[in-house]
Amino acid sequence: MNQEYQYLVGKLQEALACDARVGALDIKITIAHGRVHLTGQVPTEERRANVGLVAHELMPQLDVRNDITVLELSESGKPEAVGD
């Protein structure tokens, strides 16, 4: 990763945390060869799209590949007996 890309990762991480459209602290960002690659999980499709949007707004010169997934919930599952 070149020097400029390292700072961009930091800036994008900050933007994804602080931008109210996303507010996510755990998006994984990789920047290489003119492309931003985003992975991680968010609660909704709208927030997934917003992650891509914020990345594009901050660095319009780069391609954005948005591989964020949306968290699918399963049933509540079996209770666990603790401390017995």
Partner 1 sequence: MIRIAAVGDIHVGEDTHGRLRPHWLTLDQHADVLLLAGDLTNVGSRKEADALIEEVRDLPVPVVAVLGNHDYHCDNPLGVRHALEAIGVIVLEGETVTLELAGCTVGIAGSKGFGGGFAGACGHKFGEPEMKDFIRVTEEASHRLEANLRSLQTDYRVALLHYAPVKDTLAGERLEIHAFLGAYQLGEALDSAGCDLALHGHAHHGTEKGMTPGGIPVRNVAMPLIKRPYAVYTLGGAKAGGSGAGRHQRETLTT
The residue with tokens 């319009």 is 60
DSSP state of 2: -
Quick one: which of 10, 11, 43, 65 contacts partner 1 (CB under 8 A)? 43
Amino acid at 13: Q
Contact predicate 21/54, CB 8 Å: yes
Nearer to partner 1, 49 or 58 (CB): 49
41 binds partner 1 (CB under 8 A): yes
> How many other C-beta atoms are found inside a 10 Å radius of the C-beta of residue 51?
24
Amino acid at 38: L
| Total chain residues near partner 1 (CB under 8 A) | 22
* Contact track, partner 1, 12-31, x by CB under 8 A: --------x--x--x-----
Residue numbers of the site for partner 1 (CB under 8 A)?
Answer: 20, 23, 26, 41, 43-44, 46-47, 71-84
